[in-house]
Amino acid sequence: MAATTPTPSPTETFWTDAERHLVRYGGEFTPEIIEHAAGSFLRTADGRRILDFTSGQMSAILGHCHPEIVATVRRQVADLDHLYSGMLSRPVVDLARRLAGTLPAPLEKVLLLTTGAESNEAAVRMAKLVTGRHEIVSFARSWHGMTQAAASATYSAGRKGYGPAAPGNFAIPAPNTYRPDFTTPDGGLDWRRQLDFAFDLIDAQSTGSLAACLVEPILSSGGIIEPPVGYFAALHEKCRERGMLLILDEAQTGLCRTGTWYAFERDGIVPDILTLSKTLGAGLPLAAVVTSAEIEREAYARGFLFFTTHVADPLVAAVGNTVIDVLVRDGLDARARALGDLLRQGLWDIADRHAVVGDVRGRGLLAGLELVVDRATKESSSELGAQVTRRCLELGLHTNIVQLPGMGGVLRIAPALTVTEDELALGLDILDRAIGAATATR
């Protein structure tokens, strides 16, 4: 009797189909099939529960499937989901007004889009049109998106093999206090000298067409690098001296993540253009460009064009209004400050137990933990970071590792603003055990 071929299990079929039909778009896929998500947890096809310490793609600030977001989507999709791009609806105008109400003057004009890359694309396009120039300055460890202008201003990854970037893009060093390049007599980061040197180089390379500086208040994909207090005021002044606009990309830091509504509030500045995404839709595709009436008026007069399929869509705008409702009602800015203090204290406690933890940094519920082979030399090890993240997943914690040349593995930790103290404690315990397991094998 002929042997029969075993029928593949649903899981085997899933991975066979994924391997055969999906384009791989960045690294390897996480080896789990995710079936369900609620609050701070994901549920896999085999019944495992995983604590999500990245809130999806650093976006789901209200946790997964927040009941008020679910109710808004159900209501709005049955009433008004999508329109011709030149038509307006109440959710769109309401969200624009309410966003402006959370921001200092003169930021009051809002363009609603879908992704962070798209919002940065629109902001750069606006800046070029208004200034009549084309050169853009960004941090050397930046991430602003994968569309043309956004990718051209992204230096942390993805530049090789695609041909020329947009002309006139320049990088300046990120002010990394843990790994200083310009130092004070006591070995700290001399960020003023670094910034002066950076703009001396920019001036030497510029053709006289500097349009804007596009930067993140805290570089997330670059390794949770937070410039020192005073840096952004000085950077803003460098821009003003050259007639440049300052664009702040608050994709991950905006909407209470860092303990204030916007990360730039710490620095006492107001950007010329602000871009929002990720956190604005709490996991759904919603982004915004916010600027002054003066800049918007000049852009309009010069024929600003950013007519896209999903500009000003009512469905996600309604979600954005619900996000603001919850943030205000539940005081999630204060909650992020308080829980952020607990998170960082827990990370420092881990550092006390494991010599491979070189640094803990961040603000609010956006934290970074940098792993090194040697604290004295700060020698990095991408292998160690990969081992820790793999063990975390095995133990039921999803976190993200940044592995860039010249930098140790940096764990990016960004739980939902609705995370509980018990969930933070669970995540810290798993991370502690994962680091212990990884270092025991070295």
Whether 238 and 269 have beta carbons less than 8 Å apart is answered as no
244 pLDDT above the threshold of 80? yes
Task: Give 333-373 pLDDT, tens digit per residue.
Answer: 999 999 999 999 999 999 999 999 999 999 999 999 999 99
Residue of 52, 216, 313, 333 with catalytic role: 216
Rounded Cα–Cα distance for residues 308 and 48 (Å): 40
Rounded Cα–Cα distance for residues 116 and 124 (Å): 12
Task: Give 146-201 pLDDT, tens digit per residue.
Answer: 999 999 999 998 999 999 999 999 999 999 999 999 999 999 999 999 999 999 99
Residue 5 pLDDT class (50, 70, 90 cuts): confident
pTM over 0.75: yes
Residue of 52, 118, 135, 249 with catalytic role: 249
Rounded Cα–Cα distance for residues 350 and 212 (Å): 41
Per-residue confidence (pLDDT) for residue 2, from 0 to 100: 59
Give the chain's domains with CATH numbers: 29-58+331-440 (3.90.1150.10), 69-329 (3.40.640.10)
Write the DSSP symbol of residue 312: T
Strand pairing class (400-402; 409-413): antiparallel
Based on the residue annotation, tell me whether 249 is a catalytic residue of this protein. yes
1 pLDDT above the threshold of 60? no
Q: Which residues pair with 363 in a beta bridge?
A: 366
Residue 406 pLDDT class (50, 70, 90 cuts): low
Backbone angles phi, psi at 367, to 5 degrees: -125, 155
Based on the residue annotation, tell me whether 412 is a catalytic residue of this protein. yes
323 pLDDT above the threshold of 70? yes
Residue of 335, 363, 391, 412 with catalytic role: 412
Amino acid at 368: G
Q: Which residues pair with 362 in a beta bridge?
A: 367
Residue of 238, 278, 335, 361 with catalytic role: 278
Whether 246 and 212 have beta carbons less than 8 Å apart is answered as yes
Residue of 76, 194, 252, 403 with catalytic role: 252
Which tokens belong to 297? Answer: 């008026």
Distances (CA, A) of 54 to 121, 221, 350: 25, 12, 19
Per cent of the chain over pLDDT 90 is 93
Based on the residue annotation, tell me whether 128 is a catalytic residue of this protein. no
53 pLDDT above the threshold of 80? yes
Which tokens belong to 68? Answer: 């008020």
Length of the chain: 442
Question: Taking the alpha carbons of 255, 256, 258, 263 in that order, is the dihedral positive or negative?
Answer: positive
Determine the average pLDDT of the residues in 71-89. Answer: 98
Which tokens belong to 249? Answer: 């990309």
Task: Give 266-311 pLDDT, tens digit per residue.
Answer: 999 999 999 999 999 999 999 999 999 999 999 999 999 999 999 9
Residue of 143, 226, 250, 333 with catalytic role: 143
Q: To the nearest whole number, what is the mean pLDDT of the chain?
A: 96
Per-residue confidence (pLDDT) for residue 408, from 0 to 100: 63
